[in-house]
Structure 1
Amino acid sequence: MTAAKALQDVTVLDLSHLLQGPFATQLLADMGANVIKVERPGQGDLFRTLTFNNRWVGGTESPNFLAWNRNKRSLALDLKAPEAKEILYKIAETADVVVQNFRPGVLERLGFGYADFAKVNPRIIYCSGSGYGDSGPYLARPGQDMLIQGLTGIAAATGRGDGPPVPVGSGFSDQVGAMNMVYGILSALYWRERSGEGQEIKVDLLSAMLAHQGQEMLMAMNFQQDFVRPKSGIGHPGMDAPFGVYPTLDGWVTVAMSPFKRFVGVLGDDSLLVYDNPKDLFDKRDEIWGKLAALTKGWTTAELMQALLAVDIWCGEVKTHLQAEQDPQVKHIGAIASYEHPTAGTVKVVAPAVKMSKTPAEIERPAPRIGEHSREILGEFGFDTATVDGWVAKGSVAEAK
């Protein structure tokens, strides 16, 4: 028997694409929400055509799409077709949430803005995601993840001081934006339980990335001084030695906030204790890192980890994605899962990250094919077979082939 789900009575009309919106709706779907993903007939979500390393899961499916669209059903619908309003307004009558991340103004011009849905259902919660908000000098700019990382300081604060700014190696801005979407939606659902009122939510990547660098922004603004990236492997431009990434004989080890004297004691060179004062540990951190790194290179990763952990140094191995998959703690907590896809076969995925005792998140559906559930969804909302047949023949609605 399938366990109860925390959001099993919530219906989400998902008009989003690429990463920010789809990740947000996948998080809701993992908790049981009925997510109806609306896609373009024939083309679908743009992420279906994008991939990494020119590799396709099962030879046909985009890993980018599969990563963010499990537990959803796909309705393939041409938003410009006259039937689209009839269909989406009908769904909106009983839906709880609409999620979209088109450029500002696009859906409003098509008749699918917050005001349009609120007329149909005043309790609707309408969440929009954008790059920079819905007005201002950057309105026409593309709101892509790496561009936002560059604008908000995180790229400038990452990497070595003698090299270029370094973006984070994942779609960090989009994923932070997705978390803000979920945070806003769940807050709005709770408010609606008390007030009976729906509302509009606006999330933008620029604000999200600034908010998630709260301590760095506070320091820079209040002291009117930007962080300066060190030339060594210090892991954060505001931290002093020994914070950083250190080479070993066979890899790398990270060391976080830890007593310098204790770290030096493990490495066995007391001459370095001359640096053990707050001013030198920051001002001379590159010099110190070089001397420490020369010593850590004489240890294997396993040997150094064992010695550091024995004296309560905060440390960890640096692992690749494949090494992370095989990590014993990752295995222990069940962080990796899989599902069966009709064309891609067995797909390995990251499991839902939030564990709930009474309403657990589960992977119950693979990422859908374009229009795979068009007939099923339209039937649920009262459209008869003949009507749907006509729409399919016309091309305004599509189904999976």
Structure 2
Amino acid sequence: MKPLQGLQVLDLSRILSGPYCTMILADMGAEVIKIESPQGDDTRAWGPPFIGTESCYFLSVNRNKKSLVLNLKTSEGKKIFLDLVKSADIVVENFRPGTLDKLGIHYDVLKQINERIILASISGFGQYGPYAKRPGYDVIAQGMGGLMSVNGEPGGPPIKAGFSFADLGSGMWALIGILMALQARNHTGKGQWVDASLLDTMISWQTYLATGFFATGKNPQPMGNAHPSICPYQVFQANDGYFNVGVGNEAQWKKLCEIMNLNIANDPRFSTNSERVENRDQLIPMLENLFKKEPSKYWVEALDEAGIPTGPVYQLSDLYADPHVSEREMLLSLHHPTIGEIKQVGIPIKLSETPGELKTPPPLLGEHSCEILQRLGYREEDIVKLFHNGVSSGNDSILQSTKRYS
């Protein structure tokens, strides 16, 4: 039994934010039908890198899903979609606001067909507001949402994060909203519209930086790898690479001084965190000079043994060779029908009684069109007509199996 088993999700989303949201739903047991245009999710063509003919980008967020090709700009394609809505629980989309209205499948239409339906919409700026109709990509939200203004080195240019924080975070907020809406539906019997945006996501993560700004009126500034409110809490260079140290209290500070043979634990410039933050320009060079005398492994082991939070700065090649990552099942694999074994990032949510599972690889375009259309009552000859009229399509094996009707 999976926690979301029995739920059906119609996934109209593409690229990253929506597919990430629906992948987690699928990992946890929901049946996710990925509804793609005849051209497919944009990311099927994004690369390099590719594995064979498959885009690594697409492979990263589309496992455990079924692919149905539907041209929603045709009346028959829209009819098929609305027929699916009748028995579905959730619809996820990340089009620009107004697109569903143009297609004739906006929330008011969906809830008339199925009052229990939950629509989750992810967009750059939300479903209302002066910027609602603007296109929004991850980098735009990182810039407008304040992240780029505090990321990077002091005096340097704005730098975006290496991960797609706005996209992935919005997918997570949409997922949380969906789960909340499901819980509310248990009480009311009715679904609702979940509205998540990339800009709202970035704003919501400002936390202490925003509160500091509200209190002082001063814009936070980039500090490289340092922390504005804790010291030392940053990356340091050893004689062979980099590692992180986070000193969160005075007991840890005293232990650090002891390990490093520094007689400054009670120095009035550094004895409390507030003093260390105020005098970081004096403290950090002392620590840097000592850390450079030994390899990073030496310091990580010594600090860890003393209970001081520490860890290496990994490349991905280091990370996925770490036995802890393997033990936590954060590196898994699936068999793909055209390219063989593919590695996948594991499921970050560990449930003791109803864990998630990687069952099926990211689907080929239209791989499940025939199966889903037959479920709706379409005969094979009807499906072939849909294929020939550009309403739907399937992969080569499906076309071969129905060739006799053409």
The TM-score, its normalising length taken from structure 1, stands at 0.93
The answer for the alignment partner of 2:82 in structure 1 is 89
Gapped runs of 5+ residues in structure 2? 397-406
CA–CA distance in structure 2, aligned partners of residues 324 and 23 of structure 1: 21
* TM-fit CA distance, 1:328: 2.0
CA–CA distance in structure 1, aligned partners of residues 355 and 254 of structure 2: 45
The answer for the alignment partner of 1:47 in structure 2 is 43
The answer for the alignment partner of 1:68 in structure 2 is 61
CA–CA distance in structure 2, aligned partners of residues 269 and 328 of structure 1: 34
The answer for the alignment partner of 1:392 in structure 2 is 387
* TM-fit CA distance, 1:13: 0.6
CA–CA distance in structure 2, aligned partners of residues 85 and 56 of structure 1: 33
The answer for the alignment partner of 2:243 in structure 1 is 253
* TM-fit CA distance, 1:395: 1.4
Q: Is the 8 A contact 2:71 2:78 kept in 1?
A: no
CA–CA distance in structure 2, aligned partners of residues 310 and 96 of structure 1: 50
1:349 match: secondary structure = strand
Q: Is the 8 A contact 2:43 2:57 kept in 1?
A: yes
* TM-fit CA distance, 1:257: 2.6
1:276 match: secondary structure = coil
* TM-fit CA distance, 1:277: 4.1
Matched ranges for 1:287-366 at <5 A: 287-366=282-361
Taking a change above 3 Å as real, the CA distance of residues 85 and 140 of structure 1, as seen in their structure-2 partners, is closer
Q: Is the 8 A contact 2:40 2:365 kept in 1?
A: yes
Q: Which is bigger in relative contact order (C-alpha 8 A, separation at least 6)?
A: 1
Q: How many residues align?
A: 391
Match of 1:244 among 225, 234, 237: 234
Q: Is the 8 A contact 1:233 1:289 kept in 2?
A: no
Q: Is the 8 A contact 1:264 1:273 kept in 2?
A: no
Residue identity opposite 1:239 in structure 2:
S
> Deviations for 1:340-397, whole angstroms, at most 9, x for unmatched residues?
1112221111111112233221111100011110010111122222221111011110
Matched, 1:25 2:22: yes
Gapped runs of 5+ residues in structure 1? none
The TM-score, its normalising length taken from structure 2, stands at 0.92
The answer for the alignment partner of 1:8 in structure 2 is 5
CA–CA distance in structure 2, aligned partners of residues 147 and 271 of structure 1: 45
Match of 1:160 among 138, 153, 158: 153
1:376 match: secondary structure = helix
Q: Is the 8 A contact 2:98 2:133 kept in 1?
A: no
Q: Percent of aligned pairs with the same residue?
A: 36
The answer for the alignment partner of 1:136 in structure 2 is 129
CA–CA distance in structure 2, aligned partners of residues 298 and 7 of structure 1: 53
CA–CA distance in structure 2, aligned partners of residues 29 and 389 of structure 1: 29
Residue identity opposite 1:310 in structure 2:
E
Residue identity opposite 2:112 in structure 1:
K
CA–CA distance in structure 2, aligned partners of residues 243 and 353 of structure 1: 25
> Deviations for 1:41-90, whole angstroms, at most 9, x for unmatched residues?
1x200111113xx2201x21111111110000000111111111210111
Q: Is the 8 A contact 2:253 2:265 kept in 1?
A: no
CA–CA distance in structure 1, aligned partners of residues 282 and 74 of structure 2: 65
What is the Cα-based RMSD across aligned positions, in Å? 1.7
